[in-house]
Amino acid sequence: MRAADFKIVGLVEMVRGLEYGRPSDRSVEAMLDEGRGTCSAKHLFLARRLSEDCPECEPRLFHRVYRVDRERARRDFGERAAAVVPPEGLVDVHRYMTIEMNGRRTIIDATFSGPPWDGVSDLPLACGPGVDHPSEGDADSEKRELEGRYCDPVLRERFIEALS
């Protein structure tokens, strides 16, 4: 692995190690101050830092609109999360990113901690299949617009809280 790859892996692992949960303010600064964040702040921070420190990896943010049902929530996140999912499921918007690494676009999802990343494989997405929307610039505004269009805000907040 190149030195830049070690730097990328270290940064991704640092973010994965942050607790999952909504900080008091939905910002990168609050995430860093409080040591916890959701997919939004974690990936926005990573994209900014990687753009500065390793611009050759060309970070790109994506928002995935997806549906989660109780069974998937139970399997992926446990009983607490499954309990807040209504029988018909709920729609969420998940942020993740890709980077250019080792000659290919690599999926990075640093939302939750897990086994150490090898710096080669894709990091599995913390969501199910859905429709991806590449970020065109203002990722937070884009995500809020997708949430407003597709999500029930009360159900979504309960789900995020249950994941914390």
What is the rounded average pLDDT of the residues 86-113? Answer: 95
Q: What is the share, in percent, of the chain residues with pLDDT greater than 70?
A: 98
Provide the 10 A C-beta neighbour count for residue 28.
21
Domain boundaries, position 101: 3-163
Asked if the model's pLDDT at residue 142 lies above 90, the reply is yes
Q: What is the pLDDT of residue 3?
A: 63
Dist CA 102 CA 121 (whole Å): 10
Per DSSP (E only), the strands in the chain are 19-20, 36-37, 60-68, 90-101, 104-108, 130-134
Residue holding tokens 């710096």? 119
| Joined tokens for residue 133 | 């929307």
Dist CA 150 CA 153 (whole Å): 9
Asked if the model's pLDDT at residue 160 lies above 70, the reply is yes
136 or 6, higher pLDDT: 136
Read off the CATH number of the domain in which 123 is found: 3.10.620
Average pLDDT value for the chain? 94
Q: How many domains does the chain have?
A: 1
